Amino acid sequence: MRNRFDEQLLQLNNELIKMGALCEEAIAYAVKYLIDHDADMKENSIDAERQIDRKERDIESLCMKLLMHQQPVATDFRMITSALKMISDMERIGDQAEDIAEIAEYVHLSDLSARVHITDMAEAVVYMVNNCIDSFVKKDTEIAYSVIVMDDTVDEIFMKVKKELIEAVQNGHDDAESLVDMLMIAKYFERIGDHAENIAEWVIYAMTGQHDMNASY
């Protein structure tokens, strides 16, 4: 019986890694589409989002099965509950990546001054998502903490982008719609950063059993 349980836990771990990898791909595709406008990338991003949704359901039912049939305790129990929380964050990341890909169609970074900062932001967010999945994969709280710290940087860049966009509006930029879209994209990135931070916190919780109380949600 225990043996079966261990196997299922391993399966849960593997599925989570796969879902995390899908998230990384979804956001990477979305960023590539935003920067290069390669139509394939948009398709890929949407496809990844669908797969993420499927994975979320699979993992959810696996977690439920584990909770009902095996009645896990202590570390195992924490692992499963944090998995349940993590997948909803991952699912949100997938959704927002898709949203970015959809909006990006109407945004042309080349003619905007905020371009540099929004690419910085994309880079930082991709880095965060990669690292929060990495921290889970390697069960490394150090990496998880670095993700939490990184979120502040993303927030800062968001403020910068926002300021620049406001300036552009005040200066009477021709394409107001594009500016609003840009702001939304920046906000999505910021949200993805938050979700990545959440995932990192759940990783820390699963491993240490402690919530980081100082962290901002």
Residue with tokens 């970074």: 109
Which of 52/183 has CB closer to another protein?
52
Cβ nearer to another protein, comparing 136 with 189: 136
- Nearer to another protein by Cβ, of 29 and 189: the residue is 29
Least gap, CB of 20 to another protein (angstroms): 7
Per CB under 8 A, residues contacting another protein are 7, 10-11, 13-14, 17-18, 20-21, 24-25, 133, 137-138
Alpha-carbon distances, residue 143 vs 26, 149, 164 (angstroms): 21, 10, 31
Residue 25 or 181: which CB sits closer to another protein? Answer: 25
Contact status, residue 157 vs residue 188, Cβ threshold 8 Å:
no
CB of 90 to another protein, least distance (A): 13
How many angstroms separate the CA atoms of 141 and 75, rounded? 15
CB of 56 to another protein, least distance (A): 17
Could you give the CA distance from residue 17 to residue 133 in angstroms, rounded to a whole number?
7
Q: Which residues of 133-152 are buried (b: 16+ CB within 10 A; e: fewer)?
A: bbbbeeeebebbbbbbebbe
Taking the complex as a whole, the smallest distance from the CB of residue 44 to another protein amounts, in Å, to 9
